[in-house]
Amino acid sequence: MPYRHTQFGWVILAVIALADVLSSVIVIAAGMAWVALLILGGTAAVFLLFGWLTSEVDATHLRMRFGVGIIRRNWALTRLRRADVVRNPWWIGWGVRFMPGRTVFNVSGFSAVEFETDAGKVYRIGSDDPEGLRRAITAALER
């Protein structure tokens, strides 16, 4: 049974909206309304790239993508060794993090599923449904 779950980045949206309002007020008051349009366009692009995270498991692959899908990764299930629910420390933050020993993809919160490939690489995908994602990966690996 395929699994698909999308987690929305409410905090990211709130921070972007606040930044948009504050910066727009400042630059419009300074008589540079065109700068406000540039800021709005830039923050809209950031939200479209990182505003939500979708995780999918089908018969052959684990897939994840941020936002509209420009930033994405796919892993063949035949290459995965294990999947465990983990909790990220606060300092890992959100977005894509390349860290010693692992790569983290996260849009909100601290819960994630950590998995290891047969090449020994470790990844974490953040999710507000980590147990559902882990179960889907584990079930697919058992097939």
pLDDT of residue 24: 87
pLDDT of residue 83: 96
pLDDT of residue 126: 98
CATH value of 53-142 in 1.10.3470, 1.20.120, 3.30.1330, 2.30.29 = 2.30.29
pLDDT of residue 76: 97
The one-letter amino acid at 78:
T
pLDDT of residue 102: 96
Spacing of C-alpha 50 from chain mean position? 7
> What share of residues in the chain are helix, strand, coil (percent, to 5)?
40, 40, 20
Question: In this structure, are strands 80-87 and 111-117 parallel, antiparallel, or unpaired?
Answer: antiparallel
Domain with CATH 2.30.29 in the chain: 53-142
**Per-residue pLDDT for the chain (143 aa), expressed as one digit of tens each?**
699 999 999 998 999 999 989 988 898 888 888 888 899 999 999 999 999 999 999 999 999 999 999 999 999 999 999 999 999 999 998 899 999 999 999 999 999 999 999 999 999 999 999 999 999 999 998 87
Task: Tell me how far CA of residue 132 lies from CA of 3, 15, 37, 96, 121, in angstroms.
Answer: 8, 28, 41, 22, 22
CB proximity list for 51: less than 8 A, separation 6 or greater: 8, 9, 12, 13, 66, 67, 107
